[in-house]
Amino acid sequence: MGSPQTLSERDRRIVAAWAAACAERVLWLFEVEAPDDPRPRDAIARTRAFARGELDVAGEIRRRFVGGGAARDVKAPAAAAAARGAGQAAAVATWERTPWAPPRTPRRPRLWPRPTNASMLLKRSVGN
């Protein structure tokens, strides 16, 4: 049984349409700096095609890094971020077994032992 946080292919197609719309809003930042580089626009077009059901997951796994690679070829941070956004949008199709979960944060060291039952927790909070 998969994780309850894993997205189905249908859900990934919905997220892909949203991701393509987000990436397209900032694409102009990249195109101002590199108007002849079609990679981010092509990645967004592939993402939209995946969202419509025209492309399969296997094909997108092979092409997942193409759009974001354009970020290395520009100097402006905003242009690079826009190219990475297009690459990330295209990567939505490859989330087949990736859990949809927030990133892990480093754990803070505990200063006291963890309570093992509710009565210990109550005593600690009341101060008895």
Q: What is the pLDDT of residues 10-37, one digit of tens each?
A: 888 898 899 999 999 999 999 999 999 9
Q: What's the DSSP call for residue 27? A: H
Helix, strand or coil for residue 12? helix
pTM, entire model:
0.68
Is residue 43 within 8 Å of residue 87, measured between CB atoms?
Answer: yes
For the beta carbon of residue 68, count every other beta carbon within 10 angstroms. 21
Q: What are the φ and ψ backbone dihedral angles of 12, each rounded to 5 degrees?
A: -65, -35
pLDDT along the chain (128 residues), means of 10: 65 89 94 93 92 82 68 90 89 65 50 53 53
Nearest to 75 by CA among 64, 83, 87: 83
